[in-house]
Chain A
């Protein structure tokens, strides 16, 4: 069975600082992993996905994530936070039926 744990329900950074959002997964098969972003009262938008190709995945808006099998992690990073990055971020792993299994989300706040 697959599962996802996101460490930290709230993360606050200053504008221009490094963003690091943590995600650990559990999967009995090679995982397909995703990061989505959600702005208030909107749907989810894909940031990036890992599908067993390169372990360092680059996404939209300057975000990237590194797949580390030994650590069962898929942390999301951005070198320099912008005010517009304030949102909720969800890590997800593909389930056995094709559905997505989500973490509980991390709300990112960006201070000026």
Chain B
């Protein structure tokens, strides 16, 4: 089955620690996205990538970093500079054209110890 996988489902971060969230897709999509979801705020864009080895900052990129070394993978690192990381993180992908649908993974919930 084609789809998007995110791991882990739950992730705990200690003070000062960097953590990495995994996102993998086997849909052969060019574009991938990371969103952060907080209660009552909808989803906000962190980073996106339209092609391998290229990515762009979204609206709330501070304290996060990404890489896109392979078409199917788009990991997100939450760095210690992100002071309020507790949220639900969603990865998405799309074929790449403007009107095409974005497909979402099941999400990772990040909690701070």
Contacts and interface: CB of A to CB of B under 8 A. Distances in A.
Interface of A: 9, 32, 34, 36, 41-46, 49, 51-52, 90, 94-95, 97-105
Contact of A98 (B35, B43, B50): B50
Contacts of B50: 97-98
Interface string B93-106: 01010110111111
B42 A103 contact: yes
Nearest to A49: B101
Interface of B: 4, 6, 31, 33, 35, 40-45, 48, 50, 56, 58, 88, 90, 92, 94, 96, 98-99, 101-107, 109
B33 A99 contact: yes
Contacts of A42: 106-107
Contact of A34 (B6, B41, B101): B101
A41 B41 contact: no
A90 B99 contact: no
A9 B42 CA distance: 10
The 9 closest A-B pairs by CB, nearest first: A43-B104, A102-B42, A104-B42, A51-B99, A44-B104, A102-B43, A43-B106, A32-B99, A99-B45
A32 B105 contact: no
A43 B105 contact: yes
24 contacts: A32-B99, A34-B102, A41-B107, A43-B4, A43-B90, A43-B105, A43-B106, A44-B43, A46-B101, A46-B102, A46-B103, A90-B42, A95-B45, A97-B48, A97-B56, A98-B50, A99-B33, A99-B45, A99-B48, A100-B33, A100-B43, A101-B45, A102-B43, A104-B40
